[in-house]
Structure 1
Amino acid sequence: MKRKKDVIKKAVLASVLAMSLNNVVWAAEGVNQPFSTVSELEALGGIASIDSSSISHVTKGIYASGNDFIYNSGAIKLDINGFANSTNSGYDSIGIFGYNSTIDLKQIEMNFIDTSGTVHNLDVYGIKTYASGVVKIGDDSKITVSGNVSGLDSNNQPNVMKGMYAGDNATMDSGIIEVGDNLELNVINAGTGWTYGIDSYDGATISVGDGLRLFVTGGKDTRGVEGGFNDAKVTLGENASITANSRDGVALGVYVFNTGKFEGAKDLTIIASADDGNRWAAGVLAQGAGSEAVLNGAVISATEGGTASYAIYTYNDGSVVGNAGKYNIYGNILNNSGGTVDLTTNSGSFIEGWVSTASTAETNISLEEASYWKVTGDSNLTHLHNDNSIVDMTHDSNIFSTLTVENLSGENGVIEMDIDASQNSLNSDKLYVTDTLTGTQYIDLYEVNGYTPVGEEGVGTVLATVNNHNGSFAAVDGEGTLYWKRYELDHQDTADTSGNYTKDWYLKQVTNIDQPTTSTDTILAANALNYHTWRTENDKLLQRMGELRHNGEEAQGAWFRLRGTKIGRDGKFDFENKYTSYELGYDTITKNTDDKIRYQGAAVSYVDGDSSYNRGSGDNSSKAISFYNTEIGSKGHYLDVVFKVSNLENDFKVYDTKNNKITGDFNNTGVSLSAEYGRKNVLHNGWYIEPQAQFTLGYLGGDSYTTSNGIEVSQSGIKSAVGRIGFNIGKEVGSKGVVYAKANLLHEFGGGYDVTMYDGRDGVKVGDTFNDTWFEYGVGAAFAAGKNSHVYLDVERSSGSDFTKDWQWNIGARWTF
């Protein structure tokens, strides 16, 4: 191999102006005559620029030929301003060109850009190599080719702009391009010539490492990656991204033809879009025998004029192989004239579009573990394996579709179908198995007229017709507003007269089953949430006002407290409510004798909560006013009587198993009267114990409302009688402070309720009771913060019942004057 000096010598003999820096040779080469009009070629600190906008011949930025070797060990930046200004379509403009030679660059940023607006009737390449040429580009390189290439070449074919091209001149071996990780390649053509990102032709090979970011856009046909003839191949590493856009032509993300090959590693993204709705786009197109595109998990999107186009397209024996991996495919699959598509999806994959398979073609799709196929129109394929995944036929604009497969296999797959139970014929999506059914598939029915779910009127509907009957179908229970429906399927001799089938699977019977629907569960859970929130807000004297024994002689007092609570209910009709309470009170001493001090006052409060249900969430709030009479006895006893009126509001938003949104809102008014008695018994060294008893009578009024899915709800009122016995044990801290622990046993003696629901066809009445026993415990403190101010706080939680108070914190302050 010749050394660098031979390269320079060759450039001089060719009358080419050249400079060398950091072991790199940059050159601008003319054809038959030197580039005498090149105005600038400078290299400074690894930066070089060439102005070729006035050249009337071929432009080459970096050039090696005839066993030359160009090597660079550092990063370089090369700016080439303008394409060759030539009307001769035989001339090329090339950024990096290797012919029967090697160019090895560690890292390059090349901007090959023509900003003049000139329409160029020639071919433009970012990188071009053939005839045993090798071009190697290192990691983290960036290449941009941009300008206007238009017109036709001497063979009456469109001129081209290509980011990378490796080919063969029919006299020597094909070219090779090898690129490291994290290449950014942008090819932007403002003209009508065809635009390519990466093109491997006639036995050439191009390989790019991980993290490719390829963007290609042009006025006419565009290709992101292309490989064609004599096993030419393009290989991409992991996390590659290909974007191909055409404003007025066909856009192809990956195109292989005439034995061309492509392989992309996992996490490949292909986006192909044709802006003109009269054109088309394909994410992957394979044409011709021996042509093959191999995927290992990919996101593929293809659109034409904003609507779905072909995510995968094969014809004339082309092949697309999707090895096991995660796929998200947006677009249709068209398999024509001998083509082959094999696609195996891993867990969580998604396909949206129809599948069409010619009689001479073969399409096999395997959906594994929670994969999802959103079928948008009539589809047919060779083998569908549906294992614990979903085939959804309901997204065809309520036009009943057919899905035809030669063989259907898998276990616990679900096939979702539209049905119009009001019609007697042609009233549902339909599944045809022309050869063999194995395994068990579940059919999930969706009523197109909004009846949820399908009722007795759907009995007799044929849902699937099969030939060789080695498997079975069952049906998914249908969720209605008030009831679940259980569907029973059965099979019988087919009514089809074509002679291609033997059995029809049909809906034999529909029955109600005793299981709460999303609607009934949420209606009853919301009812329970309001009740438990209202009941929890009826609390104790020490929590509300602190230690009044430290109050002093001032006649008036004002207080404020803030409380955070998380409550819930386990079991049936469960809920969770996290809320914050704000309460402000005022009182005055109305009696002060040697035996007792009497406080009388009033308070207002507001509660703001966020609620959670099994299949959704909601908001809740309440406003309350209370009046209290509190007596503190001289012997340590006290009596606290509270009358409270509350108004509670609740709204919810949930989604049923068919993803239908259900909303509702209502309010309840509650009244309660509470009496609490306790006595503080002094022990030794400042310790004390205070037994307590409390009884609260209350009534929470019902409400009538209608949910968004038409359920008329009528709640009865709830009578409540809660008893509490317990104690505080604590220690005096100084003269005006206490810390304490508390424990209480509570029981609801009432709590019975009825809720009636009617949906216009069916009704249900649920009666139950919230009577329960539970245990609450916590710790707290109260102390003087100043001469006329007091602070108190506590935390508590509950255990022992379906009702749970996960936590509650309470902090307040009182001022006397």
Structure 2
Amino acid sequence: MRNSISVKPRQRVLASAVGLAVASLAIPAQAGTVTSGTTTVAAPGDANTTWTVTNNSTLNVQSGASTNWISLKGDPPSTGRPQLIMDGATVISTLPPLPTSPPGSTPPPAISVRNASATISNSTISSPNNIGIEFVTQLTAGLQPSTGTITNSTVSGFQYGVAASAGATVTITNSTLSAGTGTNGGINGGLINFDSNVTVNGGSISGNLAGVGAISLNTGLSIISNTTLNGVAVSAASGPAILIAPGRPIYTGHTANVLVQNGTTLQGSNGFAVQANGSVTGNVTIDGANTVIGGNVGSDGTATLNLTLQNAASLTGNLTNLNSLAVNSSAVWRQAGDNTVSNVTMNGGTIDVSGTALGTSTLRTLNIGTLAGSGTFQMSTNLGTHSGDLLNVTGAATGDYQVLVRNTGAQPTNFLPLTIVQTGGGGAGFGLVNGKVDIGVYTYKLQQQGNNWALVTDTGTPVDPRTGEETLDVVTGDPGDPATGDLSPSTQTVLGLSSAAPSVWYGEATVLRTRMGELRMDDQRNSGVWARTFGKQFNGKPNAGTSYRQTQYGVVAGVDGVVGQTWGGSWLVGAMLGTSHSKLTFENASTGGVNSYSAGLYATWLGPTGWYFDGVFKYNRFQNTADAVMNDGVAAHGSFNNNGVGLQLEFGRHLEFGDRWFVEPYVQFSALGVSGADYGLTNGMVSNSAHSGSVQARVGAAFGKTLTLPGGGAIQPYLKIALVQEFIKSNQTTINGIVFNNDLSGTRAEFGAGVVGQLRRNAQVYVEAETAVGKRLNQSWGAQIGVRYTF
């Protein structure tokens, strides 16, 4: 039978007296009873009407309607399972439960669901003196537990916002649950799960003593509670975000499973995201890459608390009195202090021992009882004080693990081994991520020493094995020798960058030399303007531990003209401006850059019998940037500026023989000085480059032929070859107090081919390709193209 009422037929009007301290006030109240069929409460309803629903009946509270408390009773003597359907309604519990209740009686929960079901959406539920909504199950044979859904609603209570007990199943979606300051048996929270199954999707939960409570209620019953929080904001004003505990000390042996996932946040005022107290077992799982939890997880020592982090979830905080910790599938635990955990298993997760101390002088210790599985430990060291984070496994350690040591450019004070992993045996294996770690100038490796693992460097034999004392002062040693160990990527970047200026300067000067070579194509009496664009690639190895590839692109332009005659020949002088960018690439993905800006003067004397003399004076401003990538993938940056001044002199002869073939032998002398610079990288490495230089001699020749084109033009294809000798062997760079020598000395052979074209009387084009082979400096390729216009 279905009833639709606005004036409430079939209601029994009762009188309720509320005694006050000095007087009494009669409050009119109506009590609605639904025993069969469906009763509908339409808007506006009556805020003073209470409802009791029994048997298989249904109460439907429609949008805009208001009521007082509602009680659904599916336990005896009721027969059947009552149901509540509510959408867009308001329920506020303000009246005592019975008209005969004594003065001062507390109103019941706003909605009580006992062995019944409730579907609530878009509604506001409030109990200023009790529970917002309770789902209760009478544990009697044949009775079904309570069920309910709450969607897009606001629920508030004095002690609890929502409580589910004894096997109830409740789903809450996009709702706001809150609790005041009241307690019931010392318990308070926005959501209290008494041995039931509760899933919350979205929304927020807040309480005073706890945001969410997983509380065991009955003794002697093997009941497990399950609480799932999907994308929920949980907070507590005076306690942990999640509390796991018995309702009373006698309620022991229960298990609470809590799943925190999909971006749920936990904010406890006492520093705990999750806290377990008393004789219960708590299994807490934090899941998902967008689930980032900040706060401690722990117990009082009497609870059994197991924590699992998985699927890239992260937790930053301390763990206290945990029974076990599992860190799986890219999840991360970041320590906020020293920690002790009885049992740890890992399956692809990471434990960050440094945690919140990263970048500070504080070092951390993680004590573990037993360790099993595979994963990564992140740790920091300060070899300046010969100390570091410590992983201490007091029992057996099994499995394979990677250790990521935070890299630094600061220099250690000694090369003694530093133990960072201690175990009680068990056969576990530990290795460094990428096989090595950068600490100062050198790279370190992780070496097993019995049941422990220590950071050691391959710096020769700086420690006397008989005494354990250092036998070599690294500052006065020869760190450039490969016997002293592998250089760190930061060191290689600094050394490579400090040796790049000469090749930048010569790369631009070579372009200018080829410009002057054009003047020997029968146009030495003309003035003109010209421009060249070029690209080159060098491979440098300035010392035993450093190699790099340098790619240079640039443009050079100038103007020149004839100024007079001497010794039967013509003098031509000119000025030029140029710019280029060089990128240095190292084997470890580190890079460096040099922006060069140049200005110069040049002069050429062309004699009547083919003899010639060229002179170049050029100034460069170098802007240098270093971008080192350390072995842990972290970048370190630095920059500096310096200047270069160089002079280049060349003497040769242009000889022509039959059928307009020609040969042009020459000798050349070059000298360059580059100013030093002091700078540092962001990882703490400090570098000082002394004044450096280059002195080169070159002997070579060009061979070619001049071909006349129809219409009066000409082209001049040619081949060229040269031998170059670099004389300077010592260009010192000091890194972290250790002196290195950049040495690009030696002989290299250069080869090239090009074409000069006199397309018109006053226009020339130029194309050239080149390469060079040497011991310490090769040129993989080079190309340039240019034009000149005479007037």
TM-score range, shorter chain: 0.5 to 0.7
Instruction: Map residues 768-783 of structure 1 onto 2, 5 A cutoff.
Output: 768-771=743-746, 773=748
Matching residue within 491, 497, 506 for 1:535: 506
Query: 1:504 aligns to what?
Result: none
Q: Which amino acid aligns with 2:642?
A: N
Matching residue within 364, 373, 397 for 1:437: 397
Query: 2:335 aligns to what?
Result: 375
8 Å CA contact 1:792–1:812 kept in 2: the answer is yes
Instruction: Map residues 596-675 of structure 1 onto 2, 5 A cutoff.
Output: 599-609=572-582, 611-612=584-585, 614=588, 616-629=590-603, 642-654=616-628, 656=630, 661=636, 663=638, 665-673=640-648, 675=650
Query: 1:766 aligns to what?
Result: 741
User: Which ranges of structure 2 fall in alignment gaps of 5 or more residues?
Assistant: 10-29, 35-40, 73-80, 96-106, 182-186, 218-223, 247-252, 453-466, 475-483
Whole-Å Cα distance in 1 between the matches of residues 207 and 713 of structure 2? Answer: 79
Q: In structure 2, do the counterparts of structure 1 residues 409 and 598 end up closer, same or farther at CA, with 3 Å as the change threshold?
A: same
Structure 1 residue 698 displacement after superposition: 2.5
- For the pair 1:407 / 2:367, whether they are aligned, the reply is no
Whole-Å Cα distance in 1 between the matches of residues 380 and 720 of structure 2? Answer: 56
Query: 1:291 aligns to what?
Result: 256
Whole-Å Cα distance in 2 between the matches of residues 188 and 681 of structure 1? Answer: 100
8 Å CA contact 1:669–1:701 kept in 2: the answer is yes
Mean CA deviation greater in 578-587 or 796-805: 796-805
Whole-Å Cα distance in 1 between the matches of residues 650 and 392 of structure 2? Answer: 72
Structure 1 residue 773 displacement after superposition: 4.0
Matching residue within 180, 197, 202 for 1:232: 197
Matching residue within 402, 405, 412 for 1:453: 412
Query: 2:103 aligns to what?
Result: none
Q: How many residues align structurally?
A: 686
Q: In structure 2, do the counterparts of structure 1 residues 326 and 749 end up closer, same or farther at CA, with 3 Å as the change threshold?
A: farther
| Bigger Rg, structure 1 or 2 | 2
- For the pair 1:574 / 2:574, whether they are aligned, the reply is no
8 Å CA contact 2:594–2:623 kept in 1: the answer is yes
Whole-Å Cα distance in 2 between the matches of residues 59 and 204 of structure 1? Answer: 24
**Secondary structure of 1:769's aligned partner:** coil
Structure 1 residue 671 displacement after superposition: 0.8
What CA deviation, in whole Å up to 9, does each residue of 1:294-346 have, x standing for no partner?
A: 57x866654457x9642686872121246899986544332453334253656
Q: Which amino acid aligns with 2:320?
A: S
Matching residue within 516, 525, 530 for 2:496: 525
What CA deviation, in whole Å up to 9, does each residue of 1:654-676 have, x standing for no partner?
A: 46558695635352414141649
Instruction: Map residues 356-367 of structure 1 onto 2, 5 A cutoff.
Output: 356-358=320-322, 362-366=323-327
Whole-Å Cα distance in 2 between the matches of residues 150 and 207 of structure 1? Answer: 18
What value does the CA root-mean-square deviation take over the aligned residues? 6.6
Query: 1:697 aligns to what?
Result: 669
What CA deviation, in whole Å up to 9, does each residue of 1:484-542 have, x standing for no partner?
A: 5678775699xxxxxxxxxxxxx977787422134432221112222322222223469
Q: In structure 2, do the counterparts of structure 1 residues 798 and 339 end up closer, same or farther at CA, with 3 Å as the change threshold?
A: farther
Query: 1:749 aligns to what?
Result: 725
Whole-Å Cα distance in 1 between the matches of residues 764 and 49 of structure 2? Answer: 91
Q: Which amino acid aligns with 1:356?
A: T
Q: In structure 2, do the counterparts of structure 1 residues 365 and 696 end up closer, same or farther at CA, with 3 Å as the change threshold?
A: farther
Query: 1:384 aligns to what?
Result: 344
Structure 1 residue 624 displacement after superposition: 1.9
Q: Which amino acid aligns with 2:340?
A: N
Whole-Å Cα distance in 1 between the matches of residues 180 and 522 of structure 2? Answer: 87
Structure 1 residue 168 displacement after superposition: 6.2
8 Å CA contact 1:331–1:353 kept in 2: the answer is yes
Instruction: Map residues 422-571 of structure 1 onto 2, 5 A cutoff.
Output: 430-438=390-398, 452-453=411-412, 455=414, 467=424, 479-483=438-442, 490=449, 513-540=484-511, 544=515, 555-563=526-534, 569=540
State the TM-score, normalized to the length of structure 2: 0.63
- For the pair 1:318 / 2:318, whether they are aligned, the reply is no
Query: 1:584 aligns to what?
Result: 557
Q: In structure 2, do the counterparts of structure 1 residues 55 and 754 end up closer, same or farther at CA, with 3 Å as the change threshold?
A: farther
Q: Which amino acid aligns with 2:197?
A: A
8 Å CA contact 1:256–1:262 kept in 2: the answer is no
Query: 1:497 aligns to what?
Result: none
8 Å CA contact 2:190–2:206 kept in 1: the answer is no
Q: In structure 2, do the counterparts of structure 1 residues 782 and 379 end up closer, same or farther at CA, with 3 Å as the change threshold?
A: farther
User: Which ranges of structure 1 fall in alignment gaps of 5 or more residues?
Assistant: 1-5, 17-29, 35-49, 71-78, 93-98, 105-109, 137-142, 180-184, 237-241, 494-506
Whole-Å Cα distance in 1 between the matches of residues 537 and 554 of structure 2? Answer: 11
State the TM-score, normalized to the length of structure 1: 0.62
Whole-Å Cα distance in 1 between the matches of residues 85 and 673 of structure 2? Answer: 86
**Secondary structure of 1:377's aligned partner:** coil
Q: In structure 2, do the counterparts of structure 1 residues 619 and 478 end up closer, same or farther at CA, with 3 Å as the change threshold?
A: closer
Q: In structure 2, do the counterparts of structure 1 residues 616 and 320 end up closer, same or farther at CA, with 3 Å as the change threshold?
A: same
What CA deviation, in whole Å up to 9, does each residue of 1:392-421 have, x standing for no partner?
A: 433446555442222124568556365698
8 Å CA contact 1:620–1:651 kept in 2: the answer is yes
8 Å CA contact 1:600–1:629 kept in 2: the answer is yes
**Secondary structure of 2:726's aligned partner:** coil
Q: In structure 2, do the counterparts of structure 1 residues 800 and 422 end up closer, same or farther at CA, with 3 Å as the change threshold?
A: closer
Query: 2:318 aligns to what?
Result: 354
Q: In structure 2, do the counterparts of structure 1 residues 792 and 377 end up closer, same or farther at CA, with 3 Å as the change threshold?
A: same
Matching residue within 692, 717, 742 for 2:693: 717
Whole-Å Cα distance in 2 between the matches of residues 730 and 778 of structure 1? Answer: 14
Whole-Å Cα distance in 2 between the matches of residues 128 and 407 of structure 1? Answer: 48
Whole-Å Cα distance in 1 between the matches of residues 156 and 769 of structure 2? Answer: 70
8 Å CA contact 2:748–2:773 kept in 1: the answer is no
- For the pair 1:332 / 2:271, whether they are aligned, the reply is no
Q: In structure 2, do the counterparts of structure 1 residues 220 and 33 end up closer, same or farther at CA, with 3 Å as the change threshold?
A: closer
Whole-Å Cα distance in 1 between the matches of residues 772 and 381 of structure 2? Answer: 48
Q: In structure 2, do the counterparts of structure 1 residues 536 and 664 end up closer, same or farther at CA, with 3 Å as the change threshold?
A: same
**Secondary structure of 1:435's aligned partner:** coil
8 Å CA contact 1:620–1:648 kept in 2: the answer is yes
Q: In structure 2, do the counterparts of structure 1 residues 438 and 262 end up closer, same or farther at CA, with 3 Å as the change threshold?
A: same
Whole-Å Cα distance in 2 between the matches of residues 587 and 53 of structure 1? Answer: 98
Structure 1 residue 602 displacement after superposition: 1.0
**Secondary structure of 1:376's aligned partner:** coil
Structure 1 residue 603 displacement after superposition: 0.6
What CA deviation, in whole Å up to 9, does each residue of 1:687-742 have, x standing for no partner?
A: x9987767653233244443434444435422233566667899988759899998
Whole-Å Cα distance in 2 between the matches of residues 174 and 409 of structure 1? Answer: 41
Whole-Å Cα distance in 1 between the matches of residues 506 and 577 of structure 2? Answer: 16
- Between the two proteins, what is the percent identity of the paired residues? 15
Whole-Å Cα distance in 1 between the matches of residues 523 and 494 of structure 2? Answer: 50
**Secondary structure of 1:753's aligned partner:** coil
Q: In structure 2, do the counterparts of structure 1 residues 713 and 538 end up closer, same or farther at CA, with 3 Å as the change threshold?
A: closer
